[in-house]
Amino acid sequence: MSMITRFKDIMASNIHALLDKAENPEKMIDQYVRNLNKDLGKVKSETASVMAEEQRSKRALHECQEDMEKMERYAVKALEAGNEGDARRFLEKKAELAARFSELQTAFQLASANSLQMKQMHDKLVADIGELESRRNMLKAKWSVAKTQERMNKLGASAAQSGQSISAFDRMEEKVNRALDESKAMAELNAGPKDDIADLAAKYEEKGSDSNIDRELSALKERMNK
């Protein structure tokens, strides 16, 4: 597995792990930022290593090319000096260097491609961290509002339950009053019919107190007349 693939997997696993544990978005955001900054340190280190490898490959390629040019110059000088054998040896060395040059060129192209990808990954990670940090306060504020709304919803539900309790109490009170009225009615029924003839007769009976007063008044008048 290449280092680029490995770091892509690291970042993806961090994201998926956080999403799986996203019970508290506020904590998740902070943890996500910490993880990304940790990964950024790793990416920076690997990016620097890949860029250094690119520079080594580039330097080796240039050195090989310079050696090829040097062998060709020596071959020319050998021919000018009449030493065809020496010229042949320089050209043979140049051919060896040409084969190595082809290998170094392939290695340099691969190192350049890896370096470009690592730098792109590094830049994207830096941008993602910057964006997330700039949005962190906004997301936390939204989460706070959501939690406040949740508490208000719970209080609203409690208020609705209290209203139901009052309604139930009213129904209970009505039931008690109805039972009391039924008890009074049953008591009246159990008392039986009322005989009011005695009350009617008492209306026409002479009141003893009034008769005594009348007799006493008459006796007093008789004494005065005498």
Q: Contact, 46 vs 118, CB < 8 A?
A: yes
Burial pattern 25-54, b for ≥16 Cβ within 10 A else e, equals eeebbebbeebbeebbeebeebbeebbebb
User: For residues 99 and 181, which has the higher predicted lDDT (pLDDT)?
Assistant: 99
What percentage of the chain carries pLDDT values higher than 90? 26
Query: What's residue 33's pLDDT?
Result: 78
User: Which one, of 10, 57, 73, lies nearest residue 36 by Cα?
Assistant: 10
Query: What's residue 79's pLDDT?
Result: 92
User: For residues 38 and 9, which has the higher predicted lDDT (pLDDT)?
Assistant: 38
Domain 3-159 indexed as CATH 1.10.287? yes
Domain boundaries, the chain: 3-159
Residue 54: CB partners within 8 Å, gap ≥ 6? Answer: 108, 111, 112, 114, 115
pTM of the prediction?
A: 0.47
Radius of gyration of the chain from its Cα atoms, rounded to whole angstroms = 57
Query: What's residue 8's pLDDT?
Result: 56
Give the 3-state secondary structure percentages of the chain, helix then strand then coil, rounded to 5.
90, 0, 10
Residue 83 has pLDDT above 80, yes or no: yes
Query: What's residue 73's pLDDT?
Result: 94
